[in-house]
Structure 1
Amino acid sequence: MGVQFNHPWLLLLLIPLAAFMFYAYKSDFRLSGTRKNIAVLLRSAVILLLVLAVSGMQSFTVLQQKKIVYVADRSASMPEAGQAEDWMLKSAASKKADDTVGVVSASLQGAYEQKLMNHLPANFKLNAAQKPEFTNLESGLMLAGNLLDGRSDSRIVLISDGKENVGSMLAAGRMLKNQGIAVDVLPSPSRQVKDAAVEEVNVPRKLYQAESFSIEVLVRSTFKGQGELRLYEDTREIGRETVDVAVGENRYAVKALAKTTGLHRYRAEIFMEGDQQSANNAGYAFTRVDGSPKVLIVEGKKGTSANIASALSSGLIQYEVMSSPALLPNEMAKYAAYDSIIFNNVSGDQVGERRMEMIEQAVKSYGVGFMMVGGEESFGMGGYFKTPLERALPVSMELEGKRQIPSLGLILVIDRSGSMEGDKMEMAKEAAIRTVELLRSKDTVGVLAFDSTNWWVVPPTKVGDKKQEIIGEIQSIQSDGGTDIYPAAAEAVEEMIKITAQRKHIILMTDGQSAGSDGYDSLLETMGSEKITMSTVAVGMDADANLLESLADGGKGRFYMADDEATIPAIFSREAAMISKSYIVDKPFVPALQDAGDWRRLFEGGVPQIYGYVATTPKPAAQTVLSSPEPDPLLARWQYGSGRTVAWTSDMMGKWSKDWVSWPAFSNVLTQMVKWTFPQFTASPYDVKTEVEGNKVHFQVNAVSGSGPEQLQAVVTGDQLKPSKVELVQEAPGSYSGEMTVEQPGSFLLSLEDGSGKSVAMPSGLVVPYSPEYRIETGNAGKELERLAEMTGGRVLSWDKPEQLFAAAPRPSRQLHDLGYELLVAALLLWVADVAVRRLALPWGRIGARLAAPFRGRPKAAGGAEPADAGLGRLAARKQRAAAFYGGGSAAPPAPAQPQARAGGKEAGAKRPASEASRPAAPKGMAPRGTQAARPPEAGPGKKAAAAGKPPQPDDRSASMDRLLAARKRNSR
């Protein structure tokens, strides 16, 4: 235990302050005696405490303790974690009782495994959640430094191969050195595997259709051999070559031809016999091919798009026909290869929510056009209610209040067994909620959940104004238990019989096998007689598809095979629309021209008759070009974000539009409709360059014209469909830069927007290749670890000697405690005491004597009796002086007073005590102090001395003094 000062030179203030207090003591202090001494002592103590406080007085204890924090690199390039765990346990076993250890993991971010404790558990394992695709040793070191205070022998042990690709461990080392924390390193060998990797793919950033170009590929390998290099444009293979691969860098150039326009992604892959790591076998690059636009036609049924394809061909527009929505790409970047997308009578349950979101993002952020063509499986009949594509279209599927629709009784029978846990259950609940939102107030809905038993989530209830209440009950469904379909189906039919509605329908959804299969025939007969229909949904490959399909056939409904649970909401909303039959308007009419705008000239010569369409509702901001007598929109368009969309609610197969497809102007009208949806950029006014470094992407954007808007931002969208907006900083006129963080590799679409959110350039591509963890090492990471240890005063440890970590004696250190607060509190209390001594009129002598009494012995008087109290003596002397004064100065006790006769009566005289003889006499001609001068009694018979106003007599004062003296004696005893 010791004391030290942060600013010891401030102690010199005590010299002038001591001189000042000595001067104050010697001068007129307005106090005297004991009070003066106490006041000077208190004030000197206050000054001393304040000087000690400002000098930074601290107490300290010398510590002989080690604090060690292990930082374990858990990136993908490291060996299995068991080796590091064993070393930590062995090294911690040799520590002393007072030493403490903690553990931190590091990959993309640092994470605590164990805070500082006196031991490591015998079964210790590294189990913190990590992202091993990156190595950020700086994050792990700084997190470990937060556990250490630098006051004891604090050290960090870094267990790593040194292959960092995010942050800088040397930068962290400099900060730790300033804190007095040393970093020991335990170099770990990287996994040694035979590996060949594609490190770069380069293509020209801009091409023209039919232009020949070269794809340059850089391959790095750790072993020699022969391999196969494959090249792809989007998903189409365009080349395959056998190549000789040497150790180190290998560069190849492959000729290719830009056949189709649009934004294309090129992929290069290397395959070698003996390659032990496949994560780095592919590389990517983007380019845009300029030329005539390209349109993707997606067919709901194969071979139904001949009229559309013929019209586009006559307009010299390139197109590609996709015969099934199931073939739509699952990668966001592939949609940018098309200028516009046409859905021809495509049902929403065939597309799925994820693909709908990709198309919606492609339209909104990247200017890709979209057109939906009607039919019996499109718009509301296709289950697009509340889907991403409904958001993009200029019409909505809601028909509330537009026409008289038959009342509907609908019961949803939902499997809630344990196998439905997770996304299946969430999609089922979302499907039920959307279905309820489609219903009208006069409709009746019930929701029956089942496992091995049945549970009415919502008993059959008329919707009325209870939609939110019903939705709340649906959201409470939880998955649990087994699967038994028949009891649930039978109970739903039983309740449906009781419902009064013009149309009655049951939707049964399950992902499993029923516990029993008897009784379905009689159940279907009952449904037929009661005019109840049933549709079934099989979720996943484990569902009893045969049973469900037979139930749908017998119940005169539809069977759906939902391999992707994301399609469930579209299936339910489609069923709700189809059973009401309210969406299809099947009667002939001549469309009326409304707000045609620049399309007016297309219809100046009149328009053919239409025989049917799917009813929709135009959105407030949409432009309705042609309408029906209802009035419902037949042709509508609007701007959606950066793109444009068109809705044609009749078909183009000839069932409802036979007069249109045979109309001579049909090809020109359809071509103009599709061209209107094309992106509005003729050329990109910006040159965009990107550079990937670790998990950072750096943007450099330059305006071709040399000037640009004040605000510019990059919008980056990957396959996760979460657009990221990066604010670009203008460094010079027309020159911008920015940076974003990515946590997953992949292909991304990139567009530029101005301050108003308007897209200002053609979309381009951005590739974040495989994780840098899988790159083949070219430098010497071990040297960097040695530099870190040398910089911070650490050591390079050995895997064979774990005990050496705690072998050295701990570095003595001081544990400080700042006394400033305590000193200030003590100074405040003494200052209050100083004020009390100087300002309060208290018997300070007696208080001092009482306080000092326990510290001194009381002397004995002669004969063993204690001496009279000094204060009592002074009181007695004062009493004698008063008695002598009032007695006129007589020192001897007077004779006893005799009674005297007065005129008009008798009055007994008071007997004066003998002690009054010792009182001093009052000055001649003056009354004693505090009294009035005595007057002689008036002469004359019958006169009495006046009682009122009679001055106090010496006898009275003497009696008072006697009482005071007696009380003082009692108190002294």
Structure 2
Amino acid sequence: MGVQFNHPWLLLLLIPLAAFMLYAYKSDFRLSGARKTGAVTFRSVILLLLVLALSGLQSYTVLEQKKVVYVVDRSASMPEAGQAEDWMQKSAGAKKEKDAVGVVSSSLQASYEQKLLNRLPDPFRLNAAGNPDFTNLESGLMLAGNLLDGRSDSRIVLISDGKENVGSMLAAGRMLKDRGIPVDVLPSPSRQIKDVSVEEVIVPHKLYQAESFSIEVLVRSTYKGRGELRLYEDSREIGRETVDIAAGENRFAVKALAKKTGLHRYRAEIFMNGDSQSANNAGYAFTRVDGPPKVLIVEGKKGTSGNIAAALSSGLVQYEIMPSPALLPSELAKYAAYDSIVFNNVSGDQVGERRMEMIEQAVKSYGIGFMMVGGEESFGMGGYFKTPIERALPVSMELEGKRQIPSLGLILVIDRSGSMSGDKMEMAKEAAIRTVEMLRSKDTVGVLAFDTNNWWVVPPMRLDNKKQEVIDEIQSIQSDGGTDIYPAAASAVEEMLKIQAQRKHIILMTDGQSAGNGGYGPLLDQMNDAKITMSTVAVGGDADVNLLQTLAEGAKGRFYMAQDETTIPAIFSREAAMISKSYIVDKPFVPAMQEPGDWRKLFEGGVPQIYGYVATTPKPSAQTVLASPEPDPLLARWQYGSGRTVAWTSDMMGKWSKDWVAWPAFSNVLTQMVKWTFPQFSASPYDVKTQVEGNKVRFEVSAVAGTGPEQLQAMVTGDQLQPVKTDLVQESPGTYSGEMTVDQPGSFLLTLEDGGGKSVAMPTGLIVPYSPEYRIETGDADQELKRLAEMTGGRVLSWDRPEELFAAAPRPSRQLHDLGHALLAAALILWVADIAVRRLALPWGRLGALLAAALRRRPQPAGGAEAPDAGLGRLAARKQRAAAFYGGGSAAPPPEPAQPQARAGKPEAGAERPASEARPAAQSHAGARGRKAARPPAAGPGKPAAAEPKPPQDERSAAMDRLLAARKRNPR
């Protein structure tokens, strides 16, 4: 324990202050006596405390303790964590009891495994979760530094292979060096494996249709051999070659032809015997092929798009027909290969929620056009209610209040067994909620959940104004138990017989096999007699498909096979729409122009008759070009984000539009509809370059015209469909730059927006390659670790000698305690006391005497005997009373009342005086009687009282002195 000063030279202020206080004491201080002494003392101490506080007085204790924080690299390039865990356990076992250890895990982000404690758990395991696709040692070192305060012998132990790809550990080392924290390194051995990787794929940034070009591929390998190089355009293989690969870098060039227009992704893959790591075997690149626009036609039923294809061919518009919605791309970047997408009578359950979201994002953010052509499986009949496709269309599927629709009784029978947990259950609840939202107030709905038992989530009830109440009950369904279908189906039929509705329908959904084997024949007969229909939905391949198909056919319903659970909401919506049958308006009419705009010339000569369509409702901001007498929109369009969409609610196969497809102007009208949806920019006015470094993507954008808007943003969307916007900084007129962070590899679409959120360039592609953890390193990472240790004064530790970490004696260090606040608080208290002494007019002398008396007072001895000081005090009091009795002057206190006299030689009754005190008192009274001093006569009327004779002063004093001496000789 000791003290020290941060600014000891300030102690010199005590010399002039001491001289000043001495001068103040000797001068006229306007105070005197004890008040003057007290005031000068208080002020002297206050000034002393202030000088000590200014000089930085601190106390300290000497510490001999080690604090060590392990930083463990948890990236994918590191071997299994067991070796590091064992080494830490052994090294911590050699520490002293006072030493403390902590553990930090580091991958893309660092996290605490254990804060500073006096031991590691046995056994110790690394449990913190992180992203192993990146190595950020800087983050781990800085987090470890936050655990160390620098007051002890502190150090960090870094266990890593040194292959960092995010941040800089040397930058963190410089900051730790300034804080006096050394970093010991324990180099982890690199995994020695046979590995071949595709490091880079290079294609021209821009191509023209039918242009020949080369695809350059950089391959790196750790061993020599023969492999096969495959090349793909989008998902189509365009080349395959056998190549000889040497250890190190290998470059190959493959010729290709730009056949199709649009944005294309090229993929190169390498295959080689002996390769032990496949994560780095593929590389990607994007390019745009300029040429005529291209349209993707998606068919609900194969071979039904002949009229559309013929019309586009006559308008010189390129197209591609996709015979099944199941073939739609599952990656957002692939939709950028088309200028517009046409759905021809496609039902929503064939598309799925995720693909719908991709199409909506492609339209809204990247300007790709979309058109929906009607039919019996499109719009509301296709189950698009409240889907992403409905959000993009200019019409909605809601028909509330438009026409007389038959009352509907609907019961949803939902499997809630344990196998339905997770996304299946969530999609089932979403499907039920959407179905309830489609129903009207006069409809009746019930929801039955089943496992091995039945549970009426919502007993059959008329909706009225209870939609939200029903939705809240549906949200409460939880998955658990087994599967038994028959009791649930029988219970639903039993309740349906009690419902009064014009149309009655049951939707049964399950993903499992039924435990029971009930007699379904009588149940189906009962349903047919009561005109109750039932559709069934099999979720996944484990469902009892045969049973569900039989039930749907026997109950005159439909069977759906939902391999993708995201299609369940569309299936339920479609079923609810098909039961009402009110969506289809099957009667001839001649469409009327309503808001044709720039399409007026297309219809000025008149339009053919239409024989049917699917009813929809136009959205408030949509433009209804042609309408029916209802009025319902037949042709509507609008701007949705950066793209445009068109809705044609009749068909184009000839069933409802036979006069239209035979109309001479049909090809031109349809071509103009599709062309209107094309992106609004034919060529990109900006040159966009991207560079990926670790988990950072840097953008460099330059305007072709040399100037651009003040504000520009880059919007990047990946397969997760979560757009990320990055503000671009204008470095000079028409030149912009920016940076964004990515946490996973993949293909991304990139477009530019102005300050108003409008797209100003054609979408382009962005590739974030596989994790840099899987790259084949060419440098010496161990040298970087050694540089870190040398910079900070650390050591290079050995895997064979873990005890070396705590072998050296701890470096003594001081733990400082700042006394500044305590000194200032004491000075403040003394300052208040100084004011009180100088300003308050109090009897300071009397208060001091009382304080001194209180300090001198002692506690009474055991047994009730009085202390000697108390006895002397009573003798002094008696002396005063005796002096008053014998005429001791006016200043003496008045005599006490006369007490009854006891017999001679005996103490007074009830007296509590000791015997030694009683004897002198008796002798004094006897002496007084021997002198026979008679009292003066009492004063009569008109006569003054005679004055009492006063005994001589020396006689009284001698008597009292004798009494006090006797008391001192016989203390008790």
Q: TM above 0.5, one fold? A: yes
Which residue does 2:582 correspond to in 1? 582
Which residue does 1:466 correspond to in 2? 466
Partner AA of 1:186 in structure 2:
L
| 8 Å CA contact 1:883, 1:917 repeated in 2 | no
Deviation at 1:841, TM superposition (A): 3.5
**DSSP-derived class of the 1:629 partner:** coil
**Distance in 2 separating the partners of 1:632 and 1:861:** 118
Which residue does 1:239 correspond to in 2? 239
1:798 aligns with 2:798: yes
Long gaps (5+) in structure 2: 859-866, 893-933, 954-972
Which residue does 2:169 correspond to in 1? 169
Q: Deviations over 1:76-119 (max 9, x none)?
A: 00000000000000101111111111111000000111111111
List aligned pairs for 1:194-273, cutoff 5 A. Answer: 194-273=194-273
TM-score in terms of structure 2 length:
0.90
**Distance in 1 separating the partners of 2:134 and 2:258:** 36
| 8 Å CA contact 1:896, 1:912 repeated in 2 | no
**Distance in 1 separating the partners of 2:503 and 2:811:** 87
1:158 aligns with 2:152: no
Which residue does 1:842 correspond to in 2? 842
| Further displaced range: 515-524 or 397-406 | 515-524
Partner AA of 1:182 in structure 2:
P
Deviation at 1:834, TM superposition (A): 2.1
User: For residues 726 and 883 of structure 1, do their structure 2 counterparts lie closer, same or farther at Cα, with a shift above 3 Å needed?
Assistant: closer
**DSSP-derived class of the 1:543 partner:** coil
1:754 aligns with 2:782: no
Partner AA of 2:347 in structure 1:
S
Deviation at 1:34, TM superposition (A): 2.1
Q: Deviations over 1:146-195 (max 9, x none)?
A: 11111111111100000000011111111111222111100001211111
**DSSP-derived class of the 2:767 partner:** strand
1:374 aligns with 2:342: no
Q: Deviations over 1:556-593 (max 9, x none)?
A: 11111111111111111111101111100001101111
Partner AA of 1:475 in structure 2:
Q
**Distance in 2 separating the partners of 1:857 and 1:437:** 91
| 8 Å CA contact 2:938, 2:946 repeated in 1 | no
**Distance in 2 separating the partners of 1:780 and 1:825:** 59
Which residue does 1:825 correspond to in 2? 825
**Distance in 2 separating the partners of 1:243 and 1:339:** 37
Which residue does 1:286 correspond to in 2? 286
User: For residues 511 and 916 of structure 1, do their structure 2 counterparts lie closer, same or farther at Cα, with a shift above 3 Å needed?
Assistant: farther
Q: Deviations over 1:412-442 (max 9, x none)?
A: 1111111111111111111011000000000
**Distance in 2 separating the partners of 1:869 and 1:599:** 128
Partner AA of 2:300 in structure 1:
G
Partner AA of 1:304 in structure 2:
T
Which residue does 1:683 correspond to in 2? 683
| 8 Å CA contact 2:939, 2:946 repeated in 1 | no
| 8 Å CA contact 2:184, 2:789 repeated in 1 | yes
Q: Deviations over 1:362-416 (max 9, x none)?
A: 0011110000000000000000000000000000000011001000001111111
Partner AA of 2:414 in structure 1:
I
Which residue does 2:722 correspond to in 1? 722
Partner AA of 1:200 in structure 2:
E
**Distance in 2 separating the partners of 1:776 and 1:911:** 132
**Distance in 1 separating the partners of 2:507 and 2:868:** 116
| Further displaced range: 141-150 or 608-617 | 141-150
Q: Deviations over 1:524-546 (max 9, x none)?
A: 11111111111111111111111
Deviation at 1:29, TM superposition (A): 2.0
**DSSP-derived class of the 1:498 partner:** coil
Partner AA of 2:551 in structure 1:
L
**Distance in 2 separating the partners of 1:917 and 1:16:** 62
Which residue does 1:921 correspond to in 2? none
1:501 aligns with 2:504: no
**Distance in 1 separating the partners of 2:948 and 2:779:** 118
Which residue does 2:815 correspond to in 1? 815
**Distance in 2 separating the partners of 1:512 and 1:747:** 36
**Distance in 1 separating the partners of 2:512 and 2:264:** 42
**Distance in 2 separating the partners of 1:76 and 1:854:** 79
Q: Deviations over 1:629-649 (max 9, x none)?
A: 000000000111111000000
Q: Deviations over 1:698-726 (max 9, x none)?
A: 01111111111111101100000000011
User: For residues 36 and 434 of structure 1, do their structure 2 counterparts lie closer, same or farther at Cα, with a shift above 3 Å needed?
Assistant: same
Percent identity over paired residues: 82
**Distance in 2 separating the partners of 1:308 and 1:720:** 33
Which residue does 2:624 correspond to in 1? 624
List aligned pairs for 1:176-191, cutoff 5 A. Answer: 176-191=176-191
Which residue does 2:534 correspond to in 1? 534
**Distance in 2 separating the partners of 1:852 and 1:17:** 31
**Distance in 2 separating the partners of 1:793 and 1:703:** 51
**DSSP-derived class of the 2:487 partner:** helix
Q: Deviations over 1:872-906 (max 9, x none)?
A: 99xx99x989779xxxxxxxxxx9999999xxxx4
**Distance in 2 separating the partners of 1:182 and 1:915:** 97
Long gaps (5+) in structure 1: 885-894, 919-973
**DSSP-derived class of the 1:773 partner:** helix
**Distance in 1 separating the partners of 2:949 and 2:36:** 41
**DSSP-derived class of the 2:497 partner:** helix
Which residue does 1:360 correspond to in 2? 360
Which residue does 2:452 correspond to in 1? 452
User: For residues 914 and 211 of structure 1, do their structure 2 counterparts lie closer, same or farther at Cα, with a shift above 3 Å needed?
Assistant: farther
Deviation at 1:444, TM superposition (A): 0.5
**Distance in 2 separating the partners of 1:781 and 1:204:** 34
**DSSP-derived class of the 2:527 partner:** helix
Partner AA of 1:514 in structure 2:
S
**Distance in 2 separating the partners of 1:89 and 1:812:** 25
| Further displaced range: 68-77 or 7-16 | 7-16
**DSSP-derived class of the 2:748 partner:** strand
How many corresponding residue pairs? 901
**Distance in 1 separating the partners of 2:948 and 2:199:** 126
Q: Deviations over 1:726-771 (max 9, x none)?
A: 1111111111111100001000000000011111011101000000
**DSSP-derived class of the 2:13 partner:** helix
Deviation at 1:456, TM superposition (A): 0.9
Which residue does 2:695 correspond to in 1? 695
**Distance in 1 separating the partners of 2:511 and 2:401:** 37
**DSSP-derived class of the 1:284 partner:** strand
**Distance in 1 separating the partners of 2:379 and 2:129:** 44
Which residue does 1:33 correspond to in 2? 33
**DSSP-derived class of the 1:277 partner:** coil
| Further displaced range: 42-51 or 665-674 | 42-51
Deviation at 1:911, TM superposition (A): 6.1
**Distance in 2 separating the partners of 1:793 and 1:786:** 10
Which residue does 1:933 correspond to in 2? none
Partner AA of 2:156 in structure 1:
I
List aligned pairs for 1:348-747, cutoff 5 A. Answer: 348-747=348-747
Which residue does 1:22 correspond to in 2? 22
User: For residues 653 and 41 of structure 1, do their structure 2 counterparts lie closer, same or farther at Cα, with a shift above 3 Å needed?
Assistant: same
**Distance in 2 separating the partners of 1:699 and 1:322:** 35
User: For residues 883 and 575 of structure 1, do their structure 2 counterparts lie closer, same or farther at Cα, with a shift above 3 Å needed?
Assistant: closer
Deviation at 1:835, TM superposition (A): 2.3
Which residue does 1:951 correspond to in 2? none
**Distance in 2 separating the partners of 1:715 and 1:167:** 25
| 8 Å CA contact 1:646, 1:677 repeated in 2 | yes
User: For residues 354 and 882 of structure 1, do their structure 2 counterparts lie closer, same or farther at Cα, with a shift above 3 Å needed?
Assistant: same
Deviation at 1:867, TM superposition (A): 12
Deviation at 1:30, TM superposition (A): 2.3
Deviation at 1:664, TM superposition (A): 0.9
Alignment RMSD (CA, Å): 2.4
Deviation at 1:844, TM superposition (A): 2.8
Partner AA of 1:257 in structure 2:
L
| 8 Å CA contact 2:626, 2:633 repeated in 1 | yes
**Distance in 1 separating the partners of 2:199 and 2:771:** 11
**Distance in 2 separating the partners of 1:723 and 1:249:** 36
1:58 aligns with 2:48: no
Q: Deviations over 1:765-801 (max 9, x none)?
A: 1000000001110111111101111111111000000
Deviation at 1:31, TM superposition (A): 2.2
| 8 Å CA contact 2:939, 2:945 repeated in 1 | no
| Further displaced range: 562-571 or 825-834 | 825-834
**Distance in 1 separating the partners of 2:744 and 2:868:** 99
